[in-house]
Structures are given as C-alpha cells and as structure tokens.
C-alpha cells in the first residue's frame, strides 16, 4: 500500500459514498441509516483503489462523528468541572450543577446517526474486500488484510463510543446494500456491545501492524491503536488483568512509541508523527483537513476554546474557558510543565484558556485555520491506564512506577501514595494529562469517581448515560430512552 492512498482518489471516494451509503429522507428509516439502491455495487469492490476509497470514507465519517457539535468534548470534558462557559443555553445542563438537560442544538451529543454510518461502511468493507484478488493490492495479502483490519478497528471504536455514551444500543453488523434490507433493531445490552468491541479490536490487532504507525502518520489505524482500544475496553469492563497486558504490549514497543520531553509536551497535538501518538485525527491544512471556514469553522474545538493572543482574529471570551479554581486545585505543583504548555491566559478577555488546540495558521489575514490533531490514543494515556489497572489489582508499587513515568516527564514530584489515595491521584493525573481530549468524564464513570451532581439515586439509574435523540425514538419503536432520561427529554 502506498501512503498516497490515504486519500484514495477524491472522485472515487465521492462516487462510492453517494452510491453505497447515500442518505435519502424518503427511504424507510432504521438507526437513522438510509441507503440508495445498489446498482453500482457490481462495478465496485474490484481493486485496491475501491477498498482504499471505502475505508477513507469511513475515516471521513468518523471525523464528522467526533466533531459534530464537538461531541467528543461535550461527552468527555464538559461534565467534569474544569471547563466553564457564559453561554446561558449551556450553563445549566453542562456546567452549573446537574447535567439536567441536553439542548437540541447540540445534536451531536444525543444523536448516534453518524456513528452508524461509519459502522455500515465498515460492515461493507469487511464483507466485500476479502473477495478482491490479493494481486490487486500493492502489498498483496498483507495489504488487503490491513484494510480489513482498519474496518474492524473503526467499527470497534464506534461501538465503544456508543457503549460509553448510551450503554444499550443496536448491534448492526450485517452490511446494508439496499433500503429493502434495512430492519428495525432493538438495543443490545452494553455488555454485549463491549464484548463486540473486544472481538473486533482483537481481529484488528491480528491484521494490523506496528509499521502502520510510520506508513500512515499514525492517522490511520495500526496495531498499537487496536491494542490501545483493547486496553480501554477491558478497563471499562474492569477486566484489569487484560488492561495490564495490552498497555504493556504498547509501552514495550520503545522502537515505535516514546513520550515527548517536557519541553515538547504539546508536540503530539501539532505533529501527527510524534512518537507519543498512537492514533490521531489529523487536521493538516496541506491535506485539506484543517478547520478554517464555514461550515467547519463552527465545529472546530480550537475556535471554541481560543481567543487572543492565540487566535488574533478573536478578542472576546471563547465559548469554553478554564475554571481557574478547579485548575489550580488539580495542579498543586506550579512547576508542572503541563500548566505552561496546555493552558494559557488571555489578558483581553481575562480568562484562562485550554491551548491544546492552538496550532493556528492563516489562509488570509482574516481567515485563520487550526491544524491541531484530535488525539484518540497516546502513550501517556497508556501509562496512566496501566497504573489504574495495577492499583485495582493491589499491585501498588508497580502502579506508582507507571504513574511516576508521566509525573516525572511533566517535571513534577513522584508519588508514594497507595490504596484508595493512589487511585484518586491516578484519576487526578489523568485530568492533568488528558483534559480536553474527551476522556475525563468517562474516566470518572469507569473509576466510580463522579462529579458532585451525580447522586446515588441518579447512579442507580445509570445517569451518566446520555439521552437518545427523539428523532431516533420516533423512527424506531424498538428503541427505549436511557433510564434516567425517561420523561425528562
């Protein structure tokens, strides 16, 4: 496979997407996925270019899923308390006490439509690519298997987001080629969905390679990405012995993955080639990925978290800014390298800023773009996940060793804590290291450390789950609203 196939012929990609996964409002609805007929199918799925075009489409749809209303940020960061807003439409539900509503304009936070679009493309790839002759691929069987492995990884990643956000969701692993094939599906239990994640990620790990990290700039799936997903889903399921195994499989690959130094701690966001990165969603302007104009302008997280002096065309307070009191409670050490590299201050707006997404360039003097990567998995995350698992397994000396690797990189003191105090410190360290990356609220759910608004009564109703969009409930009467949100949404 050639690196140039990452984009895989824009014209072919558009034709494939229009003819294979076209969304038509006149068709029967299920999972909010509707398809045109499959008249083009007998001409597609013949060559490597077809396979690459389809898998590139899946990556594009994943990007859309994550960035739709910045769903990754709304789910993973807003409920924790580090981020504030003056937007009166968002203060109540997200930031001022109880996450008691989800406003309809943040559709990406409660509508799973885009995620099932990715899943269906992956289903098509898994179904059709095996029949393409090996000789059609530049790297033969290995090249074909890599594309199939990417499909398994992306499908697993989508189901993992679905399971953490909504819990019980439909399991749709049969490819849909025509509108007539669409069937209404009920929800499967979260346990079934996360087992599917493990199965798919395991298959992906067997088919992908570590060499893919260099070949594809860590912007496409690789063996490390599949192992990182396995580490996370096993932790979510509290199968922590497996978490240690998977994180070690990544950490031990010192030829492929290394932490950046304290001075270069932001490099992972700026450069997808960073040895700390495992899997990222890139935003390269030269590859037409950067967020800089309508409609992408309103979707880019950098434009929501920055103002002058980092984004010179804006002088007001951004939609999301940092809670000063929370920040300096979570950072007891003023010398922590992350304070200077992950956070900034706007004197014009008099607010503290999250600056992880601050790689700003300009197409014209008045048209900025942002090229910061959206990081799905990186090495520091794996060290901290390993520490969490070891602490759970009462292997605290080893847990401290893993935790202190990240602390020492940040020029902060090592810890000698143990037991529950060590667990709390690991959670705090994940907030320091991963804030703004869509992880921290899920970390709290997994580690049973919830924000103050998460009462015991709400926990009993699995109230960390998000509501399902009314449009989905109306289109499929087999779908039930998540328990806490019944009668509230």
- Sign of the Cα torsion 5, 6, 8, 9 reads negative
**CATH number of the CATH domain containing 65:** 1.25.40.390
Report which of 161, 169, 150 is spatially closest to residue 68, judged by C-alpha positions: 161
Q: Is 23 found in the same domain as 151? A: yes
- Would residue 223 count as lying in a domain? no
- Per-residue model confidence as pLDDT tens digits over 231-284: 999 999 999 999 999 999 999 999 999 999 999 999 999 999 999 999 999 988
Q: What is the pLDDT of residue 365?
A: 86
Confidence grade of residue 29 (pLDDT, cut at 50, 70, 90): very low
Worst-scoring range by mean pLDDT, 257-261, 288-292, 316-320? Answer: 288-292
482 lies in some domain: no
| Number of domains composing the chain | 2
Residue 483 lies in a domain: no
More confident residue, 472 or 101: 472
For position 14, what pLDDT does the model report? 38
Specify if 254 maps to a domain. Answer: no
Residue 28 has pLDDT above 60, yes or no: no
Kindly tell me if the per-residue pLDDT of 16 is higher than 60: no
What average pLDDT does the segment 74-80 reach? 89
Write down how long the chain is: 489
Once rounded to an integer, what is the mean pLDDT over residues 426-449?
96
- Do both 9 and 158 map to the same domain? yes
> Which among 320, 343, 372 is the end of a domain?
372
Q: Percent of the chain beyond pLDDT 70?
A: 85
**Which of the two residues, 377 and 40, has the higher pLDDT score?**
377
Instruction: Give the pLDDT confidence score for residue 99 in this predicted structure.
Output: 57
Q: What is the pLDDT of residue 2?
A: 36
Residues 198 and 316 in one domain: no
pLDDT of residue 179: 77
Report the mean per-residue pLDDT for the chain.
87
What percentage of the chain carries pLDDT values higher than 90? 69
Q: Provide the pLDDT confidence category of residue 204 given band limits of 50, 70 and 90.
A: very high
Across the range 442-449, mean pLDDT stands at 95
pLDDT-wise least confident of 7-11, 99-103, 181-185, 458-462: 7-11
Give the pLDDT confidence score for residue 291 in this predicted structure. Answer: 57
Do 56 and 190 sit in the same domain of this protein?
Answer: yes
Structural domain contains residue 472: no
Tell which of 144, 174, 208 closes a domain: 208
pLDDT tens, residue by residue, 151-162: 999 999 999 999
Res 36 pLDDT > 50: no
Which of 372, 393, 424 lies at the terminal end of a domain, its last residue? 372
Same domain, 152 and 9: yes
**Phi, psi (rounded to 5 degrees) for 368:** -80, 160
Contact 254, 389 (CB under 8 A): no
Let me know if residue 436 belongs to a domain.
Answer: no
Count Cβ neighbours within 10 Å for each residue of 407-444 and write b for 16 or more, e otherwise.
Answer: bebbbbeebebeeeebbebbbebbbbbbbbbbbbbbbb
C-alpha–C-alpha distance, residues 314 and 306, integer Å? 8
Residue 263 domain-assigned? no
pLDDT computed for residue 79 by the predictor: 86
Is 201 found in the same domain as 60?
A: yes
Domain extent, residue 336, equals 301-372
Q: Which residue has the higher pLDDT, 74 or 180?
A: 74
Residue 180 has pLDDT above 60, yes or no: yes
If asked whether residues 174 and 306 sit together in one domain, one would say no
pLDDT at 228 > cutoff 90: yes
pLDDT digits (tens, 9 = 90+) for 398-415: 999 999 999 999 999 999
Global pTM value: 0.91
Residue 127 has pLDDT above 50, yes or no: yes
In a domain, 414, yes or no: no
Same domain as 10, residue 150: yes
């Amino acid at each position: 496979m050639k690196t140039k196939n990452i984009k895989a012929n824009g014209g072919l990609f558009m034709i494939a997407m229009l003819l294979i996964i076209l969304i038509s409002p006149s068709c029967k609805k299920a999972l909010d996925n509707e398809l045109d007929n499959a008249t083009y199918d007998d001409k597609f799925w013949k060559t490597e270019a077809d396979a690459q075009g389809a898998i590139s489409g899946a990556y594009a749809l994943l990007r859309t899923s994550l960035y739709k209303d910045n769903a990754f940020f709304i789910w993973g960061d807003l409920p924790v308390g580090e981020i504030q807003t003056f937007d009166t439409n968002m203060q109540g539900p997200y930031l001022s006490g109880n996450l008691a509503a989800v406003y309809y304009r943040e559709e990406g936070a409660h509508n799973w439509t885009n995620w099932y679009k990715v899943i269906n493309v992956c289903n098509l790839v898994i179904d059709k690519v095996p029949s393409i002759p090996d000789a059609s691929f530049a790297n033969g069987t290995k090249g074909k298997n890599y594309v199939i492995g990417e499909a398994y990884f992306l499908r697993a990643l989508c189901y993992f987001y679905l399971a953490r956000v909504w819990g019980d969701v439909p399991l749709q692993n049969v490819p849909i080629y025509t509108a007539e094939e669409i069937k209404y599906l009920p929800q499967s239990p979260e346990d079934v969905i996360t087992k599917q994640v493990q199965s798919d990620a395991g298959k992906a790990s067997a088919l992908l390679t570590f060499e893919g990290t260099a070949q594809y700039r860590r912007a496409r799936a690789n063996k490390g990405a599949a192992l990182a997903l396995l580490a996370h889903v096993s932790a979510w399921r509290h199968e922590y012995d497996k978490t240690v195994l998977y994180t070690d499989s990544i950490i031990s690959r010192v030829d492929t993955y290394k932490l950046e130094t304290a001075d270069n701690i932001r490099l992972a966001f700026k450069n997808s080639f960073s040895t700390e990165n495992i899997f990222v969603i890139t935003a390269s302007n030269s590859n037409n990925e950067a967020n800089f104009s309508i409609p992408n302008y309103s979707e880019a997280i950098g434009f929501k978290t920055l103002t002058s002096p980092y984004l010179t065309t804006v002088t007001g307070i951004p939609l999301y800014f940092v809670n000063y009191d929370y920040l300096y409670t979570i950072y007891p050490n003023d010398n922590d390298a992350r304070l200077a590299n992950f956070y900034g201050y706007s004197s014009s707006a008099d607010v503290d800023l999250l600056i992880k997404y601050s790689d700003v360039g300009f197409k014209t003097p008045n048209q900025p773009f942002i090229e910061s990567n959206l990081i799905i998995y990186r090495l520091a995350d794996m060290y901290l996940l390993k520490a969490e698992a070891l602490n759970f397994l009462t292997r605290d000396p080893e847990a401290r060793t893993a935790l202190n690797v990240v602390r020492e990189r940040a020029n902060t003191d090592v810890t000698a804590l143990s037991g529950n105090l060590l667990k709390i410190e690991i959670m705090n360290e994940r907030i320091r290291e991963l804030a703004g990356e869509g992880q921290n609220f899920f970390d709290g759910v997994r580690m049973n450390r919830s924000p103050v608004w998460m009462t015991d009564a709400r926990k009993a109703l699995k109230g960390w789950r998000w509501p399902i969009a009314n449009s989905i409930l109306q289109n499929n009467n087999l779908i039930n609203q998540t328990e806490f949100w019944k009668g509230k949404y």
